Structure 1
Amino acid sequence: MNDQRLTNWQAMCILIGTIAGVGVLPLPRLAVTAGESAAPLVTVGGILLGALLVMLWSLLGMRFPDLSPVAYSKLILGKWASGVLLFVIALFYLVATAFSFREFSEVTGTFVLRRTPLEVILFMMLLLVVISARKDIYSFTLIHAFYTPFVVGPVVFMMILSFSEVELLNLQPFTTNPDFTFWVGSLGITTLFRNVVIYTFIVPRMRNPQKALKVGLTGTAISGGLYLVIVITTVGVFGAEEIKRLVWPTLELGRATIIPGEFLERMDALFLVTWIISVFNSLLSGYYLILLIIKEKLGLKDHRMLATFLMPFMFLAAMMPQNVIQLYRLSTHILPWGLIAMIIIPSALLVVAGIRGKGGVAHAPDKG
């Protein structure tokens, strides 16, 4: 593994690229279903829960600045309990990442490669991710640092162009009572932040791990800000009732956006390119997280063979849903519970570590 330490900017790029993934397309519909015209408020709730997720894992990393989650979970819980915990985490991310692969394939097959079999689209993206995931963690970081501007820039540009079409009446009333449906919707939006757990493997490789919380929350704020702007713009342009009838409202927003002077009649082509890049970054983070957990738990020297070995299992898991409707139904039932677990786990680890007096001191560097 390349032992070069990562800068704050590189660590932040990993978070931004990891969060801004495939879920951006149905995002406005998820928010509208939970809050109608108050969808931006639902989104804010989801972003705050996402920030809580990042904060908890960052605090763990700061408490054990030289150890990875595999190492400090063993130190806190013991060998067997940590083994079961890591297995559950790896299994959840296997299913969650597989569903993201399938969603990407469904969108690409619907809007871009209409005559290409779904299995071919899925296999090609999976192959691209596997090849990239065979690299060391520094190369993984450089991929995110390189692509992040190509994700953030075009999205901001498209949103600026779309503001002229926003009808403020579509955003009223902008408040609502935070009932059960509201928080379920916010939790659904927080599932888009699930891959941020990869950040726990980045913290011990940062030049200054004690800044992990600040860097993590800043990266989350940038990605969350993009999500909020997308929801506000989409709801403002289409209205809540129209969005409920759209499967991928954000893509429809790209179709409705026109550059002044009709230089480019529709922005959906540019948006799809940006979306594919962001999806690749997010899928790579999810896949890489699984590899790092298994690799360090088994004590392997590298994960290149493991990356190839995991590929057929990811493919089969992605093909389990019969169609996109079943895919979203399964995602709605599985992902929120997994996310709740990802919030409870670091909370419990912090409490147990405090009770047992673990962490807060220098540890031997983790070479896994």
Structure 2
Amino acid sequence: MKEHGKLSERQFAGIIANTMVGVGVLILPKTATKFAGTAGWIALLLGGVIALFFLFLILKLGTRFPENTLMEYAPRIIGKIPGTLVSLIFCTYWFLLSSLIFRVFAEMMVDAILLNTPIEVIIISMLILVAYLSRHDVEVFGRVNELFFIFLIIPAVFGLAVSLKQVTGIKLLPLLGNGLPSILINTRELFFSFVGFEIIFLFIPSITTLGKVYNYGFKGWLSPAAIYLAVVIIGIGVFGTRELQNLMWPTLELVKVINFPGLILERVEAIFIAFWVIAVFTTVTNLFYSSVVGATQVLKLSDHKTLVYPLLPLFYFFSTYPQNIYEVLNYMNVMGKFGGLVIITVTPLLYIISLIRNIKGGQKA
């Protein structure tokens, strides 16, 4: 299951970035301004810095066990039963989160372009692709993330650069929005928008050069953080905080009002959605793949392919269980908070106990 030396540093960064950028970006300006108002971008920046701290802490913990994943060193640090329980919590969280992200994706597709298409059809068609990629090894998985990240970052940078001319500076004032307490409240909420990076618990042993793990871990965080920050600032500058709270998909609405020079297509959002499908596909696949690989290691199976197809019906069930988009977003909010809570409690606990008990793995070859 662990294929050492199979991930390049750029692939490692791509996995982090692609997992963080998903459906959350569609409602991010609305989330960021919910409490902080025009200071939503400050709250987002603070939430991103907190996420970066825990990303580095995970890397620090992983480099103490360069040959092992979380599922292998957690039982050594805190005992077999608690360690196995922690591993299963992460696997379950990744699995449920990926199924909910899939449902949000399907809902948005129906609202935006596939008006008469049943949600079940969209979920099943994409699920086939997710299952296909998830059955490959980590080397193929890394190559796909590296390639798809290019298709994500280039149009994102171009679109955000063009949209700057639509920004009205007065809508960004006052800089401190509704005050420091509201910023801190939103910071907690926005930290959950960065979750997903914790899947690197599984991929640190596979990176080719362990010494560069911090450098490329930072680069993997930086790209989505910059995109998030730009989306929030531009969203506030174009719509204002009050209007953002009334929009279902503010980022999609932002794309609709942007005038792209030289573009003759009437529905620019269709191009945005085409690239966004790639972003969601990689996010869902990364989370699903991680849950499958993690469960395989907990169950001590020889091949993760054994679990891929048996888990698909369960994945479909959780994707279709919510009755409407509001239930889905509510479940996603709960899952995001749960995942964030697990990250900020389990990671420091494992690291501190490993230091106190002086437990570490062997040196990576």
TM-score range, shorter chain: over 0.9
SS in 2 for 1:33: coil
3-state SS of 1:346 partner? helix
* Cα distance change of structure 1 residues 262 and 93 upon mapping to structure 2, 3 Å threshold: closer
CA drift of 1:53 comes to 2.5
In structure 2, distance between residues paired with 1:342 and 1:137: 23
Partner Cα separation in structure 2 for residue 186 and residue 220 of structure 1: 17
Measure the CA separation in 2 of the matches of 1:267 and 1:83. 48
User: How big is the shift at 1:292?
Assistant: 1.2
**C-alpha displacement at 1:191, in angstroms?**
2.3
Could you tell me the TM-score, scaled by structure 1's length?
0.94
Q: Structure 1, unaligned stretches of length 5 or more?
A: none
Preserved CA contact (<8 Å) 2:68 2:361? no
C-alpha change, 1:71 and 1:360, in structure 2 (3 Å) is: closer
Give runs of aligned pairs for residues 201-220 of structure 1, distance below 5 A: 201-220=202-221
Distance 1:255 1:3 in 2: 45
Counterparts of 1:334 and 1:223, CA distance in 2: 20
Matches within 5 A, 1:154-169: 154-169=155-170
Q: What CA RMSD, in Å, does the superposition of the two structures yield over aligned residues? A: 1.7
2:180 corresponding residue in structure 1: 178
Q: 2:92 & 2:7 partners in 1: Cα distance?
A: 28
**1:130 — aligned with what?**
131
* Shift in alpha-carbon separation, 1:224–1:190, aligned structure 2, 3 A: same
Aligned residues of 2:40 and 2:186 also touching (Cα < 8 A) = no
Give 3-state SS (helix, strand or coil) of 1:25's partner: helix
What is the Cα deviation at residue 178 of structure 1? 3.1
- Residue 294 of structure 1 deviates from its aligned partner by 0.5
Q: Residue 32 of structure 2 contacts residue 44 of structure 2 at CA under 8 Å; is this kept in 1? A: yes
User: After superposition, what is the alpha-carbon deviation per residue over 1:57-91, rounded to whole angstroms, capped at 9, x for unaligned?
Assistant: 11111111111111111221222111111122222
Give the distance between the partners of 2:32 and 2:305, measured in 1 at CA: 39
Cα offsets for 1:72-126 (capped at 9, x unmatched): 1122122211111112222222221111111011101111211111111112112
Give the letter for the 1:82 counterpart: G
Which 5+ residue runs of structure 2 have no aligned equivalent?
A: none
Conserved 8 A contact 1:259-1:265: no
Decide whether the 8 Å contact of 1:162 with 1:257 is kept in 2: yes
Indicate conservation of the 8 Å contact 1:12/1:215, yes or no: yes
Q: Is the 8 A contact 1:187 1:336 kept in 2?
A: no
- Residue aligning to 1:250: 251
Aligned residue pairs, count: 363
Deviation string 1:283-320 (CA, Å, 9 cap, x unpaired) is 01110110111111111121113011111111111222
Shift, 1:261, TM fit: 4.4
Report what 2:264 is aligned to: 263
SS for the counterpart of 1:21 is coil
Q: CA deviation at 1:146?
A: 0.9
Shifted more, 58-67 versus 334-343: the winner is 334-343
**Contact 2:113/2:270, CA 8 A, preserved across alignment:** no
CA distance 1:72–1:210, change in 2 (3 Å): farther
| Aligned-residue offset at 1:361 | 4.3
CA distance in 2, matches of 1:197, 1:291: 15
1:66 match: secondary structure: coil
Q: Name the structure 2 match of 1:36.
A: 37
| Pairing 1:80-95 to 2, within 5 Å after superposition | 80-95=81-96
Choose 89-98 or 281-290, whichever is displaced more. 89-98
Deviates more, 1:256-265 or 1:220-229: 256-265
Counterpart amino acid of residue 122 in structure 1: I
